[in-house]
Every structure is written in structure tokens, then in C-alpha cells.
Structure 1
Amino acid sequence: MTFSFLLFVTRRPTITPAEFKTYWDTKHVELLKLIAGKNFPLTHTRHYIARPGSAETNGSWPAVILAGAQEDFTYYGIAELVFPDESAFQSFMSIVSALEAEARIAEDEEPFIVREKMKAVVMGETSVASRD
């Protein structure tokens, strides 16, 4: 059975949502692949909150909300990392938590995310309904 977790990431206010997405997709994930090697997750899927605003909206880029309030959506991206099993997740975590790797990752995150606001949660069971 696979092991998954969700990561909620907040954009650094000095960059735009487009810059945030580009950095995460093209630089940060590549660094994680380099560091983790064969222990990189089976998948690292990134979802981005719809924020169609612009600099004219005071750089706030409000989320397109269907339920809840703007302040509920401090994060800009949600990543789902899927591993073959919990043991593979533990191997990945031990690699990325090693002092040198952790320092490289933190340095790379500095220009695009607010680390103090990062949240992560382990996924439980999944149920899927589909159109007949």
C-alpha cells in the first residue's frame, strides 16, 4: 500500500504566483530529485490555488473561493508526495533531513516560500466516486 502526504506551501510575498509556480516546478523539485536520488517519491504532484489577480490588486492575488474566507487560504500550493510504502517515505525523510541536505533545501526555499507557514499531513484512506 502506498504512503502519501500533503504539503501546504505559502508563497513569499516578494514574488508573483507565476514566479512561485515556475520556481517550485523547475528548480526546487529538481533539487529534491538530485538530493533524494532513487528515494525521490513515486510522484510529487503540485496543485496551485487559483489566484487570477495581478499587481493591481496590491500584490495580494486573492484566491478564488467557493467556501470559506480569504484568510483560510494562506497557502498558494499543495503538493502530494506518494511513496511505495512508509519505509520508502522514512528513507526519503532521513536523506532530506541530513544536515547538509536540509541546509541546501532551506537555502533553495528561501526565495520562494515562507517556511514558517509550511504545513504537512499524512494521508489516510482514499475513496473515489466517479460518474457512471
Structure 2
Amino acid sequence: MTYSLLLLCRRKAGLTPVEFENYFETKHVPLIRSLTEDTFPIHQRFYMHREEQDGYPAKLLLGSDPNHDALCIMTWKDEAASQEYFARIQEPDSFKQIMDDDANFVDRPSTTMAVLGSSHTTSA
């Protein structure tokens, strides 16, 4: 059975949503891929649509601003595969590179990571 994690991230103060997304896609993901190689998961990233005005409010249809800029879903073939991935990123050199890179674009205290349970998809 697959094993999936949900990661919610907020951009660092002073970055626009576009700068955040660009950094995530062109710098951070390539760094993580290079450090984790064959243990890198299926990694979907969804970016909040934010209006280009003061404060960059989220474009909402219902509710209040979720206060995150990216929702990521990481999926491995099983939990053991995820543990191999985390073992790689926790190696001292890798961990330092990741934390140093995070400091460039992520508000770390607001980051949330959770294990996902069952999944259901409904289509037309």
C-alpha cells in the first residue's frame, strides 16, 4: 500500500508568491532530488492562487485564508520507502544543505507535515 505525506508551507516574509513558487521549483526541488536520488517520492505541489495586491490575499471561494502558499503531497510505494528517503535527508551534510536552502524561501515555524490516510477519487 502506498504511503503519503501532506506538507503545508508558507513563504518567507518579503517574498512574493511568484518568487516563492519559482524558488521552490527551480532551486529547492532540484536540491532535494539530488540529495535523495532514487528515494525521491512522487511529489505533487499545488500553489495557492494569491492576488497581486497588498498582502497577497488568497483567491477564495469559501472560508478564510489558509495562511499557506504551497500544499505538497509526497507518495512512496510504502512506508519503508519513505523511511529510506528520510534517512537520506537526515544525513548531516544533506540536512544542513536543506535547512540552509529552506532559510531562503520558507517560513519554517509555520510548516506542517502529516501522514495521509485513505484516498478516494471521484470523476465524471
Taking the aligned partners of 1:87 and 1:74, their CA distance within structure 2 comes to: 32
Shift of 1:84: 1.1
Counterpart of 1:39?
39
User: Shift of the alpha carbon at 1:67?
Assistant: 2.4
Q: Match for residue 75 of structure 2?
A: 82
Are 1:67 and 2:66 counterparts? no
Give the alignment's Cα RMSD to 1 decimal.
1.0
The alignment partner of 2:37 has SS state of helix
What is the CA deviation profile of residues 42-94 of structure 1, one whole-angstrom value per residue up to 9, with x for unaligned ones? Answer: x111100110223xx2xx10011222223xx1110011111111100001011
Q: 1:25 Cα shift?
A: 0.6
SS in 1 for 2:27: helix
Gaps of 5+ in 2: none
After TM superposition, the score normalised by the length of structure 2 is: 0.95
Tell me the TM-score normalized by structure 1: 0.90
Deviation at 1:112, TM superposition (A): 0.6
- What does residue 3 of structure 1 align with? 3
Query: What amino acid does structure 2 have at the position aligned with 1:15?
Result: L
Q: Any idea what SS the aligned residue of 1:22 has?
A: helix
Kindly provide the amino acid, as one letter, of the partner of residue 3 in structure 1: Y
Where 2:15 maps in the other structure, the secondary structure is coil
Give me the identity figure in percent. 30
Partner of 2:84: 91
* 2:106 counterpart residue number: 113
Q: Distance in 2 between matches of 1:129 and 1:37?
A: 33
- Match of residue 94 from structure 2: 101
